[in-house]
Amino acid sequence: MNLIIYAVVAIALIGSLIGGYVKIHGDGVKQGVAETQAKWDAANRAAEAQARAKEAADKQAKEKADAQHQAALNSLNASIAKLRSDADKRRTAFLPATAPASSGADRACFDRPLYLGAYGSLVEGLRGLANEGTKAVADMDDLKRRAH
C-alpha cells in the first residue's frame, strides 16, 4: 500500500514538474516568437523606407536626364532650323531661265513650278530623314551617357 501511495505521489510530482516546464518553455517560445516577429517587422519597415527613398531618387534622376535630353534635342533642332534659314537666305536663283525648246538629248526643259514643287518635296523629305538621324544620334548619346 505504501508503494502505491509513493507511486501516486511520484506521478503527481513528476506531472507538476512537467506541467511547470511546459508552461515556462511555452511562454519562452511565445516570447521568442513575438520578439522575432517584432524584429522582422522593424526590418521590413526599414527596407520599405529605403526602397521608397531609392525609388524617389531614381525617379528624380530620370526626370533630370529626360530634361537634359529634351534640352539637347531642342538645341539641336534650333541649330538645324537656323542653318536651313541661313541657307535659304543665301540662295539667289532657283533655276536659270527655261530654254524655249530642247535642242538635243543633253538639254531638257522643265516646267518651273512643277520642278520647284518636286524639288521642294525632295528637300523636305531629306530634311525629315536628316532630323530623324539627328534625333537617333542624340538618343544614342543619351543612352551611352546613362550606361556609364
Q: What is the DSSP string of 20-35?
A: HHHHHHHHHHHHHHHH
30: left (phi over 0), alpha (psi -120 to 50) or beta: alpha
The fraction of the chain above a pLDDT of 90, given in percent, is: 14
Q: What is the pLDDT of residue 105?
A: 45
- Whether 69 has a pLDDT exceeding 90, the answer reads no
What number is the average pLDDT over the span 50-56?
Answer: 94
Residues 6+ apart with CB under 8 A from 4: none
- pLDDT value at position 19? 67
Confidence of residue 146 (pLDDT cuts 50, 70, 90): confident
The reported pLDDT for the residue numbered 46 is: 93
Q: How many Cα atoms within 13 Å fall on the side-chain side of residue 31?
A: 6
| CA–CA separation, 84 and 78 (whole Å) | 10
Indicate the domain borders of the chain: 114-148
The answer to whether 80 touches 134, Cβ cutoff 8 Å, is: yes
Determine the 3-state secondary structure of 107 from DSSP: coil
pTM of the predicted structure, to 2 decimals: 0.43
pLDDT tens digits, residue range 74-119? 888 888 888 778 766 666 555 555 555 655 545 566 667 777 777 8
Give the pLDDT confidence score for residue 52 in this predicted structure: 95
131 has pLDDT over 50 = yes
Cell of residue 127, nine digits: 530634311
